[in-house]
Amino acid sequence: MTDNKMFIDKPAYSTPEWCSLYGTPPFEFRDNRSMTILFKTTSNVLKELVPEPLVPNDEDIMSITFSRFFVSGFGSYHELLVAAPVTFDGKEGNFCIYLILDNDIALCAGREIWGFPKKYGRVELKDKDGVMTGNGERGGISFIRGAMQLEEYGTPEDAASSPVIISAKLIPSVKKGALPEVHQLNSTTLQNMKFRNVYKGKATLEFGVSPADPFHRIPIREVLGGVYVNSDFTLDYGEVIHDYLRTTRSKS
């Protein structure tokens, strides 16, 4: 009996095994455009959005980032990221609270490899009359709208935040009533970060009312401003920094 495989010529990294959806990291992001708006919410809400043992920042700051990415292995797509600065064991990072995007490859890879909480939706990032505008929409509802004025040219320091990205990876079990197959905090560090252009300015932010994505329940106490960047970076493998299942089993 011969073993002449017609389709699978090497071990698959993702499914379908005979025509994988995506390959292995690292993934190279080039000539990306992103607008980030910082705002303050309430400590009570932020504590609900950030899981223990992560520690939310003391200033109750969150960020909304509208991006257009050009990525090896994924192609181009728009993405909206909601995050918050946190610490874990005294080290700083940014916790991913929510993402939407319009690319199935990047959506599945992000959820399956790193645990990024990605949903499919539509994101716009536009520049007109010296104003950048961003919009996030799902189910026909515009539920996040942001804008910033390109007031002045900034520096890489104006755009810099922690390159450490933390996400909560949760994969349920197929068995009824069973614990999740995976429940952990993962961390990855963006590498080879390069800022081509940086602008900063005043910003506005508002949340629309949606039954599926209830951002209207997150208070916007103060909008701190916006930063627009044109950048390159590399997204590589990461590490598990906390395993909830191991903690649960050790207590039982």
Has residue 2 got a pLDDT over 60? no
State pLDDT tens for residues 238-249. Answer: 999 999 998 766
Question: What average pLDDT does the structure give for the chain?
Answer: 94
Alpha helices in the chain (DSSP H): 43-49, 104-109, 156-159, 244-251
Maximum distance among all Cα pairs of the chain, rounded to whole angstroms: 71
pLDDT band at 252 (very low <50, low <70, confident <90, very high): low
Q: How far is CA 180 from CA 159, 228, 244, in A?
A: 37, 39, 10
pLDDT attached to residue 18: 85
Q: d(Cα 174, Cα 30) in Å, to the nearest integer?
A: 38
Alpha helices in 10-118 (DSSP H): 43-49, 104-109
State pLDDT tens for residues 104-145. Answer: 999 999 999 999 999 999 999 999 999 999 999 999 999 999
State pLDDT tens for residues 155-169. Answer: 988 887 899 999 999
Has residue 225 got a pLDDT over 80? yes
Has residue 231 got a pLDDT over 60? yes
Report the SS3 class of residue 6. coil
The yes or no reply on domain 28-251 and CATH 2.40.400.10 is yes
| Sheet (strand 122-128) strand order | 122-128, 131-138, 141-149, 203-207
Number of neighbours of residue 162 by Cβ within 10 angstroms: 15
Q: Please say whether the beta carbons of 184 and 242 come within 8 A.
A: yes
pLDDT above 90 as % of the chain: 88
Mean pLDDT to the nearest integer, 85-100: 97
pLDDT attached to residue 89: 95
- Give the pairing type, strands 182-189 and 239-243: antiparallel
pLDDT attached to residue 11: 82
Q: If we measure between CA atoms, which residue out of 94, 105, 146, 142 comes closest to residue 121?
A: 142
pLDDT above 70 as % of the chain: 94
Mean pLDDT to the nearest integer, 146-157: 94
pLDDT attached to residue 250: 63
Q: pTM of the predicted model, to two decimals?
A: 0.94
Number of neighbours of residue 20 by Cβ within 10 angstroms: 15
Point out the least confidently predicted range of 14-28, 30-44, 75-89, 132-146.
14-28
The H helix count followed by the E strand count for the chain is 4, 16
Alpha helices in 96-154 (DSSP H): 104-109
State pLDDT tens for residues 168-212. Answer: 999 999 999 999 999 999 999 999 999 999 999 999 999 999 999
pLDDT band at 1 (very low <50, low <70, confident <90, very high): very low
Mean pLDDT to the nearest integer, 85-103: 97
Mean pLDDT to the nearest integer, 3-32: 85
pLDDT attached to residue 201: 97
Torsion over CA: 137, 49, 147, 78 (sign): negative
Q: How far is CA 146 from CA 110, 203, 231, in A?
A: 24, 7, 20
State pLDDT tens for residues 11-22. Answer: 889 999 888 999
